Amino acid sequence: MTCCEGWTSCNGFSLLILLLLGIILNAIPLGISLVEEDQASQNPISCYEWWFPGIIGAGLLVIPATTMSLAARKRACCNNKTGMFLSSLLNVITVIGAVYCMLVSLQALLEGPLICNSQGNSTFSCEFSFKNLSDFHPESFNLQWFFNDSCVSSTSSKNTDINNNWKIPNSNSEEDRHRIFHFSVFTSLLIVGILELLFGLSQILIGFLGCLCGISRRRSQIV
């Protein structure tokens, strides 16, 4: 196995683990919202899991590239220049899915859980639009809802100073549990998206190298 095929196979296993992790992380809040509440629209934790960043972005969109990369280990479709080119092409879809997962996770971390939303704990208060993602600015990103003593207030606590009553939430109250859960899930999804982006970009590069340089002559004769 050449270095191109070896790295492709490694990328395949890594992407397989990451896509399974992304699907599980996305499914957990969906399951909790359906079990704890009578209606799925009444969810105090979040509404951004309904954008399916882990199931679609980090999951389904990564499957084609993962399947192609894993085939390198079986001396199949990646064992030629055309296969290496296709592995690079399919990883463009992986990059798109990873970026989508990252943007939704960042937006969720920016907004905080629905329990911190003064408009009420309902998914109907969330605007399901890509406009929110396109309007995202790094300088506006903060975790004030997480580090404040409490994010629940009659007036939105997002306008208060982050230095007032600063603390890391614990599990003493239901609000703190929701905040910890929201932070944990979407931070994990953000990390999954970043890793998938890195693996996808590396496979695009190594795939083009394999397409240009080819595979070992001995392997090509066996196949």
- For 72-91, what is the mean pLDDT? 74
Whether the per-residue pLDDT at 123 is higher than 60: the answer is no
Copy the structure tokens of residue 10: 């490694």
Q: What pLDDT is stored for residue 50 in this prediction?
A: 83
Q: What pLDDT is stored for residue 79 in this prediction?
A: 60
- For 172-193, what is the mean pLDDT? 86
Q: Which band of pLDDT confidence, cut at 50, 70 and 90, is reported for residue 32?
A: confident
Q: Which band of pLDDT confidence, cut at 50, 70 and 90, is reported for residue 45?
A: low
Counting residues of the chain whose pLDDT is more than 90, the rounded percentage is 30
Whether the per-residue pLDDT at 101 is higher than 70: the answer is yes
Whether the per-residue pLDDT at 75 is higher than 80: the answer is no
Copy the structure tokens of residue 159: 């306008």
Instruction: Give per-residue pLDDT as tens, 135-168.
Output: 666 655 667 777 776 676 544 444 444 444 555 6
Look at 171 and 165; give whichever has higher pLDDT. Answer: 171
Q: Which band of pLDDT confidence, cut at 50, 70 and 90, is reported for residue 220?
A: very low
Q: What pLDDT is stored for residue 167 in this prediction?
A: 58
The single residue listed with the structure tokens 């943007």 is 103
Q: Which band of pLDDT confidence, cut at 50, 70 and 90, is reported for residue 62?
A: very high
The full set of domain ranges for the chain reads 3-222
- B/e letters for 190-205, b = 16+ CB within 10 Å, e = fewer, are bbbbbbbbebbebbbe
How far apart, in whole angstroms, are the C-alpha atoms of residue 172 and residue 69?
Answer: 46
- Report residue 136: phi and psi, to 5°: -70, 130
Q: What pLDDT is stored for residue 56 in this prediction?
A: 95
Copy the structure tokens of residue 205: 């590069």
> What 3 state SS string does 4-38 have?
HHHHHHHHHHHHHHHHHHHHHHHHHHHHHHHHHCC
How far apart, in whole angstroms, are the C-alpha atoms of residue 10 and residue 199?
Answer: 9
Look at 52 and 173; give whichever has higher pLDDT. Answer: 52
Q: What is the mean pLDDT of the chain?
A: 75
Q: Which band of pLDDT confidence, cut at 50, 70 and 90, is reported for residue 49?
A: confident
How far apart, in whole angstroms, are the C-alpha atoms of residue 62 and residue 53?
Answer: 12
Compute CA distances 73 → 4, 85, 97, 221, whole Å. Answer: 11, 16, 24, 16
Look at 187 and 210; give whichever has higher pLDDT. Answer: 187
Q: Which of 203-206's residues contact partners 24+ apart within 8 Å by CB, and which partners?
A: 203/7, 203/8, 203/11, 203/65, 203/69, 203/87, 203/88, 203/91, 203/94, 204/88, 204/91, 204/92, 204/95, 205/88, 206/4, 206/7, 206/8, 206/11, 206/84
Q: What pLDDT is stored for residue 16 in this prediction?
A: 96
Query: Which residues have CB under 8 Å from 77's CB, separation 6+?
Result: 68, 71, 83, 86
Q: Which band of pLDDT confidence, cut at 50, 70 and 90, is reported for residue 210?
A: confident
